[in-house]
């Protein structure tokens, strides 16, 4: 279950910070195209996400998500990983989506002599076509292979809150961009389970490392080839706060996490039979 920062009610009881806002980011819309594809059934596995958030009018402080719904949505060479608390629709849930734009550039393929890029820290950033208002779209020679977004639709019910993982952020000095230590989730160490990612502000750069990516097929030679596993250390931002030609957007969150679950094909998660 995800935790919520709380403030006292007049009667002394606690209540969550939830204030409405009706503005949706362009980046949220861009990633939702891939996310809204019919999702496969829940896979068997586990995951954990911890960090700090600074989402105005919604959530400020420590954050933890202990997901119990993990699913993979393959489409051609891409695959979307959905790591969520609860199995409700995404528009009513808290969770994380990880979009791998081309798994053939990460997953080993002996048939073409490709050793793969497992355990290698990979850059996480917005899709090239997602830019701040007033900034023209430019071709990027080496776009990020991975996009990531954290959505908080259950915790922030009266507004749409989605924070995007970006390549670099401007780190404030008030401690709102400091993630705690998390054992077994340090991409710079290749997801080594016997190491611990130190707490602190970190580098301000978003990275993810995979130890396994499924091919989206059930006819793999071994069950291990249907495993999706990795860890990440990412910084979140609202792309609308970036200035054309200016510094990176301010940090709105710093989260670390790990996941490991098997791809399983089943009935699509959709609101009709």
The string of DSSP letters for 101-122 reads S-GGGTS-BGGGTB---TT--E
Q: Where are the alpha helices (DSSP H) in the chain?
A: 26-35
Per-residue pLDDT at 88: 78
Q: How confident is the model at residue 190 (pLDDT cuts 50, 70, 90)?
A: confident
Using only C-alpha atoms, the chain has a radius of gyration, in whole angstroms, of: 18
Is pLDDT larger for residue 123 or for residue 269?
123
**Which are the contacts of 105, defined by CB distance < 8 A and separation ≥ 6?**
117, 145
* Structural tokens at position 34: 């891939």
Mean pLDDT of all residues belonging to the chain: 77
- The terminus-to-terminus CA distance of the chain in angstroms comes to 28
User: Which of 83-92, 104-113, 122-131 has the largest mean confidence?
Assistant: 104-113
What residue segments make up the domains of the chain, in order of their start? 6-262
Express each pLDDT in 256-267 by its tens digit.
999 999 887 655
For 104-128, what is the mean pLDDT? 92
Evaluate if residue 191 carries a pLDDT over 60: yes
User: Is the pTM of the predicted complex or chain greater than 0.75?
Assistant: yes
Buried/exposed code over 123-157 (b: 16+ C-beta within 10 A; e: otherwise): bbbbbeebbbeeeeeeeeeeebbbbbbbbbbbbbe
Express each pLDDT in 199-258 by its tens digit.
888 888 899 999 999 987 766 667 778 899 999 999 999 888 877 777 888 899 999 999
């Amino acid at each position: 279950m995800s935790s919520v920062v709380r403030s006292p009610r007049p009667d002394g009881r606690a209540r969550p910070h939830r204030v409405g806002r009706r503005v949706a980011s362009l980046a949220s819309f861009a990633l939702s195209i891939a996310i809204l594809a019919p999702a496969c059934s829940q896979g068997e596995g586990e995951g954990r996400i911890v960090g700090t958030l600074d989402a105005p009018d919604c959530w400020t402080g420590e954050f933890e998500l202990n997901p119990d719904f993990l699913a993979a949505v393959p489409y051609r060479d891409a695959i979307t990983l959905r790591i969520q608390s609860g199995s409700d629709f995404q528009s009513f849930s808290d969770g994380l989506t990880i979009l791998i734009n081309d798994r053939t550039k990460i997953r080993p393929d002996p048939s073409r002599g490709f050793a793969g890029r497992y355990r290698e820290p990979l850059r996480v950033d917005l899709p090239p076509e997602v830019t701040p208002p007033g900034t023209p779209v430019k071709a990027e020679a080496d776009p990020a292979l991975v996009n990531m977004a954290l959505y908080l639709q259950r915790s922030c019910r009266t507004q749409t809150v989605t924070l995007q993982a970006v390549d670099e952020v401007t780190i404030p000095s008030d401690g709102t961009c400091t993630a705690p230590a998390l054992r077994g989730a340090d991409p710079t160490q290749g997801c080594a389970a016997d190491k611990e990612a130190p707490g602190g502000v970190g580098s301000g750069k978003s990275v993810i490392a995979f130890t396994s990516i499924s091919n989206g097929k059930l006819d793999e030679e071994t069950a291990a080839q249907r495993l999706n596993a990795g860890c990440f250390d990412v910084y979140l931002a609202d792309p609308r706060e970036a200035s054309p030609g200016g510094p990176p957007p301010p940090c709105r969150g710093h989260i670390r996490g790990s996941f490991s679950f098997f791809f399983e094909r089943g009935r699509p998660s959709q609101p009709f039979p």
